[in-house]
Structure 1
Amino acid sequence: MQIEDFNEIARLTIPDYELRMKAYQLKQLDRQYEIHLQAWATVMAGQTRKGKPIFRTFDKFFDYRKAEEKILGRQKRTTLDKEKLQNWIANFNS
């Protein structure tokens, strides 16, 4: 739902604005998913490495859940992030 009345925009609370922005981001994510799905079909139709598909599954090509979790603020730290943090702490302490 698009707001076109400036008075209504002025009455938006911060939580309402944040919710609308999150909804917009999720809508954009769905569009990205569709674009990537079409690209995936195109890639799978002809691209291979040594006779095997480069991406064996669609999730390796486009991780929808990871992108969604990032938008929703539920992204988990990866092992690499933990290693970077540990290295930073070790360098900071020395």
Structure 2
Amino acid sequence: MYEYTLRMRSYYLTRVDKEYDMHLQAWLNHQVKAKRTKGSSKNPKQEYVYKGFGDFFNYEKRLEKVDISHKDVTTEQKKMAVVAERVNKREEVQ
């Protein structure tokens, strides 16, 4: 019964993550269509806030942010990685 409860919790958490992704996509669709008024009140013009994809999403900057240097890994994180590896291999954790 315990395993069933864990699996159901995992299933529901996965669903919440999918819903989050859908709502994030809807928000991004809204943001990318954003316009601002430019010019005088007599001759107003609408222009897109983001002129290109690079203005909207900086791919290189995100890659740098995600890149984890091994120098930044603490001793505690290394220990936790070893424990996770043992659990994944089904070894006994001390």
Give the structure with the higher percent helix. 1
Give me the TM-score of the superposition, normalised by structure 1: 0.45
Higher relative CO (CA 8 A, sep ≥ 6), structure 1 or 2?
1
